[in-house]
A and B are shown apart, each in its own frame.
Chain A
Amino acid sequence: MENIRNFSIIAHIDHGKSTLADRLIQHTGVVSERNFKDQILDNMDIERERGITIKSQAICLPYKARDGITYTLNLIDTPGHVDFSYEVSRSLASCEGVLLLIDAAQGVQAQTLANLYLAMEHDLEIIPVINKIDLPSADVERVIGQIDTELGLDADSHLQCSAKEGIGIEEILEAIVERIPPPAGDFEAPLAALIFDANYDPFRGTVIHCRIFAGQVKPGDVIRLMFTHASYRVEEVGHFLLTREKRNRIAAGEVGYIIAGVKTVSDVHTGDTITLDNRPCEKPLPGFKEVKPVVFASIYPIASDDYENLADSLEKFKLNDASFIYQKDSSVALGQGFRCGFLGLLHLDIVQERLEREYDLSIILSVPSVRYRFTLKNGAVLDVDNPSHHPDPASIAKSEEPYIRATMMMPERYLGSVMKLCMDKRGANSTLSYTGPGRVELIYEMPLAEVIYDFYDRFKSLTQGYGSFDYDIIDYRESTLALLDILVNGEKVDALSQIVHRERARARGLQACERLKEEIPKQMFKIAIQGVIGGEIVSRTTISAFRKDVTAKCYGGDITRKRKLLEKQKKGKKRMKMIGSVSIPQSAFLSVLRSDTD
């Protein structure tokens, strides 16, 4: 155990976490240069393209340190986006130390702080690492200052590197060995292992990723998952090298995997404790939380004959994404589909993209919604995450909506406009603190619904990319709500309905109409779009009819060119959903959440 080091890399998005992980892997020689594919830990194409780690991954790096001893460094990668902060906390709970990576040009950002707090909660050894020192815009001195003043860490403890250029990598590995304590734990105690992730292997079923805190586990043992009380017989245990490496057992202090005939990843909860069925540990490891989706939207196939296909794909998809939930749903306008729950808008985006890319589906997503709570006059309490289940307004005694605590960091000069944005978004109870010269941290309590509605983009553009943002869900608060319906040519399109704050209902109605006018292409007839609240039309706009093609000559016999043009247009049409006789493009459904203020 003395020679094991369990650590994570934490950072604000784009500060170079995956690149550093790649360098560490390369340096320890787990993978030959020839087979090296950038950002090994980011398995999925989307992760690589967006540069975001979505799922946690772990890898075991053998490292021969300067003291001549070979250490086992377990790198546990963490998701890098605010939607996935619980997953991050479970990964951190599996470590004894972290590399806190800071971009030399951008300095400390909101997620740097949020991640630091998480690491501190777990009492981890923190090694600040300044990355991208090769950038012309790097300002290492300033970042060192921030480490001291904003992070409250010992500035002398920092390391410098350029993961991209491979500078400073060895020093980082040495620091991991020297400064991060080896794990502690009793081999002989009853098994206690923390699940920090799980993935699905089509041949083996669910592969549980865990950190063993006490005891040991080997094939043949019967394990029990303490939250679900389910028992399974262990088939295989091992370590993560680049691929899974089978071992006879894994024991206290180690990071590894267990395969035990668990059918789907949904049967395994991140943060749950694994113990032995016949010799359970006294109590589960601390910190378990059931992850609940906070953003909901319905998914419909564009072509209704794709429904079965979509059902199959969702089932497969769910195998590997336990935080994604779905159930059957149907819409008057869009037909059969599924109501889905997501951890946040990014999660939603990723699911949509993966369904389209990996499963080759054309889908429509309805307008995303949070989960509202209505107390009816008869005392019943309704949780509503689908506007089409909005109760009769006359029957409602009390309406509530979820609130978040939003933490934003930015240079002081953007404070005014960001505060205005937060007020616009019904923010309340703000606190403001100066974290360093010219830099502020602003905390607001805001309705989650307002953050979904166009907050990220406006925040980013207001702060010209220098602002960073993080949030936690805090509680439900009373609110006055209204149901905004959209009629397209007189026909209600339920997938475009939204539950909105009463005071903003009219403005939202107007904006929705304007966005739809931009998104829905002209068609063969005039299209009227109306926003309706409680039977009253609050907004209206008209899309005039398409009346003339630019019918290029078809002489000279070049039919091929013309046909290719039409084939292209036809492909574009496939991504539109027919509602009544109106084709509505996929993009229209999400567009109603966009305002025009930026």
Chain B
Amino acid sequence: MQMAQPGLYIHIPFCKTKCGYCDFYSVTSLSSIPEYIKAILEEISLYRYDFKCFDTIYIGGGTPSLLSCADLWEILIHARNTFTVAADAEITVEVNPADAHPHFLTSLRRTGVNRLNLGIQSFDENILRFLDRRHTCKQALESIEQARAAGFDNIGLDLIYGIPDQSLLSWKDTLSRALSFEPEHLSCYQLSLEDDTPLGRRHQKGEFALPDEDRQIDFFMTTADILEDAGYLHYEVSSFARDESCKSRHNQKYWRHIPYLGLGPAAHSFSGQRRWWNHRSLKQYLIDLREVRRPVEGSEQLTPSQKRLENCFLGLRTGEGIPMQHFSEQHNTPHPEKRKNLDELVRQGFIVIQDGFLKPTRRGLAVADRLALML
């Protein structure tokens, strides 16, 4: 299978300011960057015998664009020297629009990065402020132009909807501005708040309410309508690709149970059977690597039933769905209740059975987690 090669994820745990909704690990003090670069190079080396080759590299964060191009180049070159990185590998870097200076982007392109993911989030100034984003609407628009100018022909934009008090109109406006750039990829996330984030805490205190379920589904359906009308493929709950070749190869590995190696603090890895994760602490991460030790905090071996559940909820997030034989094999003789559920879900239009796959419909994608629990 074409996707069978593993992916490499590198987490850059630095941010100039924290966004209120984000619960990815990062620190706001940038003073450890030099030591962190050394550490990540060390960590790459520590896995040289466990992983041979990759066909995607994804540098995420945090804010990778806080690193200099030289630093990013050093990381990439070390990865290439340590592992076999496919010649046509998809190499993505996440960039904050505030950092998208022409010079930076041009150099980045030259280091071999061939895909940019821009954290636009919104083209509405009020929403950007609510989300504590560091960039302005103007910077967001300019960043896309600069990226094109720097020669990036594979650009993904991240957008968020379902902000408190957000009107459907404001969201449609953000979508149509995004579409005007004909991005190769769009990720449209519904705002979801974890309790241990600043916005999550404010929400718990009752300072604001998130849109109710009826509004959420409105946002979701409208998004899919607009983007599919514009020719995009709705290939995962939140992901849209301009065409088949524009799908994020890296992210698909997560959903297809393909192994990946995650490096950097709080990064997660998967071998096909085992999951493990690094310390969610830059300090501990640096200590471990100073002592040339893998900075792993924990791991788990997946039981067959866990693997099944994962297959199910990951597969049902994607337009591709799960292979029918997967469904029945994993049930040996499919449980009559599950079979009944499946028939009902098909009847109700949440799932279609096509080419030997159980595929969620758009309505099905909206409730992918629920589907997984029923099958």
Contact = CB atoms under 8 A, between A and B. Distances in A.
Given A549-B367, A560-B300, A581-B344, 4 more contacts: A546-B370, A548-B220, A556-B24, A563-B306
A248 interface: no
Nearest to A547: B217
A569 interface: yes
Nearest to A303: B337
A201 to B, nearest CB: 39
Contacts, number: 99
* Chain A interface category by residue count: 20 to 34
B205 to A, nearest CB: 19
B91 to A, nearest CB: 16
Contacts of A569: 369, 373
Contact of B268 (A560, A566, A578): A560
A543 to B, nearest CB: 13
A573 to B, nearest CB: 6
Interface in B1-40: 9, 11, 24
Nearest to B371: A524
Interface in B330-345: 337, 340-341, 344-345
Interface string A267-311: 000000000000000000000000000000000000000000000
Interface string B286-323: 00000000000000100000100110011001000000
Interface stretch (B67-75, B165-173, B178-186, B269-277): B269-277
Contact of B368 (A549, A570, A578, A581): A549
B interface, size bucket? 35 or more
Contact of A551 (B255, B368, B374): B368
Interface in A553-585: 553-560, 562-563, 566-567, 569-570, 573, 578, 581
Nearest to B261: A557
A566 B192 contact: no
Contacts of A525: 348
A380 interface: no
Contact of A555 (B60, B270, B306): B60
Given A547-B217, A566-B372, A556 B314 contact: no
B309 A559 contact: no
A550 interface: yes
A548 B162 CA distance: 12
Given A559-B270, A567-B309, A570-B309, A549 B369 contact: yes
A563 B363 CA distance: 22
A394 interface: no
A552 interface: yes
Given A547-B213, A551-B317, A559 B366 contact: no
A560 B368 CA distance: 17
A524 B348 CA distance: 8
B268 A557 contact: yes
B219 to A, nearest CB: 9
- Give the most central of A548, A560, A569, A581: most B CB within 10 Å: A548
16 contacts: A524-B367, A524-B374, A548-B213, A548-B366, A548-B367, A549-B367, A550-B190, A551-B368, A554-B255, A555-B251, A555-B254, A557-B269, A560-B275, A563-B313, A566-B309, A566-B369
A438 B348 CA distance: 64
Contacts of B313: 562-563, 566
Contacts of B254: 554-555, 557, 559
A556 B369 contact: no
A554 B24 contact: no
Nearest to B262: A557
Given A550-B192, A566-B309, A566-B313, A556 B11 contact: yes
Interface string A124-157: 0000000000000000000000000000000000
A547 B214 contact: yes
Nearest to A569: B373
B284 to A, nearest CB: 18
